[in-house]
């Protein structure tokens, strides 16, 4: 049987519930006109329809649990008007358990319509894939630093970023060529530049 988290008082979901279903007691009773109970309370334990699979960790990003239940993807990156540089930690700890961060999810960047905060992104060696339209519309995104292990870049991942953006890629010559090819194939503007870092 799958372990489950019980909602704490006030409806706050505890960290221990990450990756699990949560339960909440609900009940009802018949009252007379004076507010007195006329029948026994009927309680029922209700289970959430889905397990808890998203978790906030910092001021500007949230994570989602991957199917292997050992890794997480960057699910949402809040993009306001205040300039900021996004860097992602190699792992997060939720409920005492450590999860490796290995992907940027589809449509990860929020508020792309009119919000101009994101200026640069650094992707560490543990990140293997960039989802569809992950950074689509980040018009002020000018510097993307990739530390070598990207194996998948989905359609429109960098569509409509700054036309003068520079991709700085730390990788061997052969890996560098493969990563550049993946980025170009995803539909990035032809005006962006690529630079290999040793």
Q: What is the CB neighbour count within 10 angstroms for residue 138?
A: 26
Closest to 99 (Cα-Cα) out of 148, 62, 150: 62
Q: pLDDT tens digits for 101-130?
A: 999 999 999 876 666 889 999 999 999 999
- Which domains does the chain possess? 4-47 (no CATH), 54-197 (3.80.10.10)
Closest to 137 (Cα-Cα) out of 167, 119, 162: 162
State in Å, rounded, how far the first CA of the chain is from the last one. Answer: 50
Q: Residue 194 pairs with which residues in a beta bridge? A: 167
Q: pLDDT tens digits for 130-160?
A: 999 999 999 999 999 999 889 999 999 999 9
pTM (2 d.p.)? 0.77
């Amino acid at each position: 049987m799958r372990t489950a988290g019980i909602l704490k008082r006030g409806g706050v979901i505890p960290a221990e519930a990450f990756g699990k279903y949560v339960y909440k007691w609900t009940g009802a009773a018949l009252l007379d006109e004076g507010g007195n109970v006329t029948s026994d309370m009927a309680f029922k334990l209700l289970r959430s329809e889905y397990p808890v699979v998203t978790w906030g960790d910092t001021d500007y990003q949230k994570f989602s649990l991957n199917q292997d239940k050992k890794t997480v993807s960057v699910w949402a990156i809040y993009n306001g008007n205040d300039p900021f540089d996004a860097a992602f930690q190699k792992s997060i700890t939720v409920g005492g358990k450590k999860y490796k961060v290995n992907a940027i999810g589809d449509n990860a960047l929020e508020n792309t319509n009119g919000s101009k905060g994101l200026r640069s992104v650094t992707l560490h060696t543990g990140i293997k894939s960039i989802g569809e339209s992950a950074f689509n519309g980040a018009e002020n995104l000018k510097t993307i630093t990739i530390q070598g292990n990207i194996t998948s870049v989905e359609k429109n991942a960098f569509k409509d970023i700054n036309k003068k953006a520079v991709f700085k890629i730390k990788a061997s010559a052969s890996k560098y060529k493969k990563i550049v090819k993946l980025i170009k194939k995803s539909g990035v503007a032809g005006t962006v530049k690529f630079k290999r870092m040793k």
